[in-house]
Structure 1
Amino acid sequence: MINHRFSMLITIQQQREEKLQAQFVAAQQFYQQAEQKYQGLANYRTDYIRQSQQQGAAGLQSRQYSQFVNFIAKLDQAILQQGRAVHQARAAAEQRKQSWLAMQKKRKALELLVQRGEQAELLRQLREEQKNADEYASQLYSRAQAVQL
């Protein structure tokens, strides 16, 4: 009965663990996507500056230069915001990972407890069987002694 209860608890823990693992995987994927977007923005900024410098070698009008500076500022702001999003996504993924690992640890502890309980029960049964066998042998010996008298 107790093992059945623990078995149910372990099943519940496994379901929770699987759910937390799925949440971790989703958070990890979201983090990777945010990181890729960040890298994409940074690469775009670098490419845009390079292209603008090549075009600027021929000379830029003040209006074009102003647009260039404004666009770079907007890119910098987007990169900064995406950097924050990456940081938050990484923190969320790490938190979900820790939750998943904690649940995994609880499940393993329950499994170990059940295993130890089963081993103790088996040992108790073996001792009981040995005791019964010893009593039976003792009774046989006593009867044999009584018959010889």
Structure 2
Amino acid sequence: MANKQLELLVKVQLEREEKLQANFVQALQYSRQAEQKYQGLADYRTEYIQQSQQQGSSGLQSRQYNQFVNFIAKLDQALEQQARQVSQAQAVMEQRRQQWLAMQKKRKAMEYLLEQQRQQALTKAARAEQQMQDEVAMQQFVRRQSS
């Protein structure tokens, strides 16, 4: 009976572990997307500065220069915001990874306990069988001796 309950607990733990693994995978994907978005913004900023420098070599009006500076400032703000998102996404991903690993460890411990109980039951059954065989052999020996 205890084995059946433990088997049920292991099954429940496995289902929880699978959900936590799916949550981790989802967080990992989100983190990678956030990193890609950050890298895309950083690349765009670099390209924009290079293009603006090429255009500026022939001279810029003050209005164009102000637009350039303002746009770079907005890109910098967007990069800072995206960097925070990347950091948060990585923190969530790590938290979910730890939850998944903890659940996996718990399930493995339960499986180990279940296996130990199975081995004990097999050992107990083998001893009982051996005792029964010994008793039968003893009875046969006693019968032969008395006849």
- Normalising by the smaller structure, the TM-score range is over 0.9
C-alpha displacement at 1:3, in angstroms?
A: 1.1
Aligned partner of 1:135: which letter?
A: E
User: How far apart, in 2, do the equivalents of 1:137 and 1:19 lie?
Assistant: 56
SS in structure 2 of the partner of residue 139 of structure 1: helix
SS in structure 1 of the partner of residue 58 of structure 2: coil
What is residue 66 of structure 1 aligned with on the other side? Answer: 66
What is residue 129 of structure 1 aligned with on the other side? Answer: 129
User: How far apart, in 2, do the equivalents of 1:3 and 1:78 lie?
Assistant: 57
1:1-149 matches, within 5 Å, as 1-147=1-147
User: How far apart, in 2, do the equivalents of 1:138 and 1:11 lie?
Assistant: 46
User: How far apart, in 1, do the equivalents of 2:137 and 2:26 lie?
Assistant: 65
Structure 1 vs Structure 2 CA RMSD: 0.6
User: How far apart, in 2, do the equivalents of 1:120 and 1:14 lie?
Assistant: 24
C-alpha displacement at 1:7, in angstroms?
A: 1.0
User: How far apart, in 2, do the equivalents of 1:7 and 1:132 lie?
Assistant: 30
C-alpha displacement at 1:139, in angstroms?
A: 1.0
TM-score by length of 2: 0.98
User: How far apart, in 2, do the equivalents of 1:7 and 1:34 lie?
Assistant: 40
C-alpha displacement at 1:99, in angstroms?
A: 0.3
User: How far apart, in 1, do the equivalents of 2:67 and 2:48 lie?
Assistant: 12
Q: C-alpha deviations, 1:2-45, integer Å up to 9, x for none?
A: 11101110110011001100100000000000000000000000
C-alpha displacement at 1:143, in angstroms?
A: 1.1
The alignment covers a number of residue pairs equal to: 147
TM-score by length of 1: 0.97
Q: Using the aligned pairs only, state the percent identity.
A: 61
Q: Any gaps of 5 or more consecutive residues in structure 2?
A: none
Hey, which bits of structure 1, 4+ residues long, moved more than 3 A? none
Q: Any gaps of 5 or more consecutive residues in structure 1?
A: none
